[in-house]
Structure 1
């Protein structure tokens, strides 16, 4: 199937995406009107000044970070970890990215993580931690790469839209809900690209486990069942304040979506599947 992010995007993101954009634009318009109409111009312009200072610091930080990563991280390429580079190239082509993101591996001192980043201009980045590479097998790494590419292809890091949406992210619970929905979308893109449900489920579980020694022994179904043990009240409050769904929930989500994709329209067929079941 041809990749269409709109058909893979999680329903929660489809709900929160326009809400956060509209709320963000309305807050920006309210702020602009307050600047133009308020008699207390000195206070308003002082606030504007601090916003500009914040934007300037953010810009300088991105410039410095871009310089830092080339001197301290390891750039993946045709001559440097070519098997990982090929994973990124293949996945980028399949989701329709015109430019393959620059991929780096860095020493995370034991922290397992991966990030999709936009620093300046149009250049896209994917960062993979050394601990994740050590703990995951190649099939799991493909899922992780697919997840991070998902942030790029779904437009999560588009600078202009992010600026428009920024005030909405400050709204209690709304920003966190939108962030969680984006992660669910990217998990779907990860499984769509990997085509390996068990590797994708255990890649998420590995973020909780973190043990290369136990990797081959992981049972994602048993891990998923832990969700039933989460206390409903405290679990609810932890959930609404977090920008990430629980890992047990994420395993359950991709498991359900994978099963759905195999039993419905071919547009949801997972790569590698030759027939619907």
Structure 2
């Protein structure tokens, strides 16, 4: 495990943590959403001023409805789950506070622990309400393995808030209420996938432990019972198969998140740039075939720099 990164150094490195494709995909999504709104307003205006007023009122109604639903859901969690406070979960609260300090993110987050949570962890940020919901059994398993897995988890989700990945959520909700989801997804889904890669990067920087971070991803894929026995060489080989499969790429186009094996491979190749020493330790643990597969993944990744013999260190001010 690497020593703790000083907070000021971590803040600089976070500026380079965004996935290389995230910014361009965000620009594309924003331009497309703006075009859809313009088309909606033009269509309404061509019908008459009354239609424009109705469109505006429907959009306002959607905003008010979701504002109420968010607060209703938060109130419901307050009665059905345990809210994380210094008194209820002192260790978890301390880790959350530490993560917020390290990410320089101090907006209030309502964190709850419940018995069953879809996807183990969910985060919602809309209209000023930020809720992080964690499954209790999943949380206990991570805490039992030391601080690094939990720090990866918290860094991943709080990092999403820091990176403002929910900034388009309200616009998407309004357009979705107009039954335009089929027009939104081709531009929003690629952005969401690259944003998830960014969250993995931030989680890794907070955990400061590549092996622990990858094991969290393995847990999400195969469960806690088999996560420890998953062969890194096998996953790297499978990632190469996915990279060479047009059908796998096509299947991923319809998902809000990348394939789990792609998340694993992306984090490994990102570590080659973010922490070459730790990447080399991971590489040394692979078989000869595994190293060949890893080399293929690295040369095809957006972090590969063919002009250098080894991956270069990230520039502190790059975004």
TM-score with structure 2 setting the length: 0.73
Matched positions, count: 262
2:98 maps to 1:84 = no
> Superposed, which structure 2 residues align to 1:238-249 within 5 Å?
238-249=251-262
Residue 76 of structure 1 contacts residue 84 of structure 1 at CA under 8 Å; is this kept in 2? Answer: yes
2:70 maps to 1:62 = yes
User: Quick one: which of 130, 133, 136 aligns to 1:127?
Assistant: 133
2:110 maps to 1:102 = yes
Residue 76 to residue 172, structure 1, CA distance change in 2 (3 Å): closer
- What is the alpha-carbon distance in structure 1 between the residues aligned to residue 140 and residue 133 of structure 2? 14
Distance apart, 1:82 and its partner CA:
1.5
User: Quick one: which of 97, 117, 125 aligns to 2:124?
Assistant: 117
Residue 193 of structure 2 contacts residue 256 of structure 2 at CA under 8 Å; is this kept in 1? Answer: yes
Residue 81 of structure 2 contacts residue 113 of structure 2 at CA under 8 Å; is this kept in 1? Answer: yes
Residue 172 to residue 100, structure 1, CA distance change in 2 (3 Å): closer
Q: Secondary structure at 1:38's aligned position in 2?
A: helix
- What is the alpha-carbon distance in structure 1 between the residues aligned to residue 196 and residue 260 of structure 2? 11
Q: Which moved more, 1:225-234 or 1:255-264?
A: 225-234
Counterpart in 1 of 2:307?
Answer: none
Q: Secondary structure at 1:173's aligned position in 2?
A: helix
- What is the alpha-carbon distance in structure 1 between the residues aligned to residue 56 and residue 111 of structure 2? 36
2:235 maps to 1:228 = no
2:33 maps to 1:24 = yes
Residue 254 to residue 165, structure 1, CA distance change in 2 (3 Å): same
Runs of 5+ consecutive residues of structure 2 not aligned to the other structure: 1-8, 277-311
TM-score with structure 1 setting the length: 0.83
Residue 176 of structure 1 contacts residue 242 of structure 1 at CA under 8 Å; is this kept in 2? Answer: yes
| Superposition CA RMSD, Å | 2.6
> What CA deviation, in whole Å up to 9, does each residue of 1:232-273 have, x standing for no partner?
1331221101111011110111111111112433656xxxxx
> What CA deviation, in whole Å up to 9, does each residue of 1:71-101 have, x standing for no partner?
1111112122221111111111111112352
- What is the alpha-carbon distance in structure 1 between the residues aligned to residue 232 and residue 136 of structure 2? 23
> What CA deviation, in whole Å up to 9, does each residue of 1:138-174 have, x standing for no partner?
422211111001110001124xx43346659743421
> Superposed, which structure 2 residues align to 1:181-196 within 5 Å?
181-196=194-209
- What is the alpha-carbon distance in structure 1 between the residues aligned to residue 139 and residue 59 of structure 2? 39
Residue 99 of structure 2 contacts residue 155 of structure 2 at CA under 8 Å; is this kept in 1? Answer: yes
Runs of 5+ consecutive residues of structure 1 not aligned to the other structure: 269-277
Distance apart, 1:124 and its partner CA:
2.9
Residue 224 of structure 1 contacts residue 249 of structure 1 at CA under 8 Å; is this kept in 2? Answer: no
- What is the alpha-carbon distance in structure 2 between the residues aligned to residue 22 and residue 188 of structure 1? 26
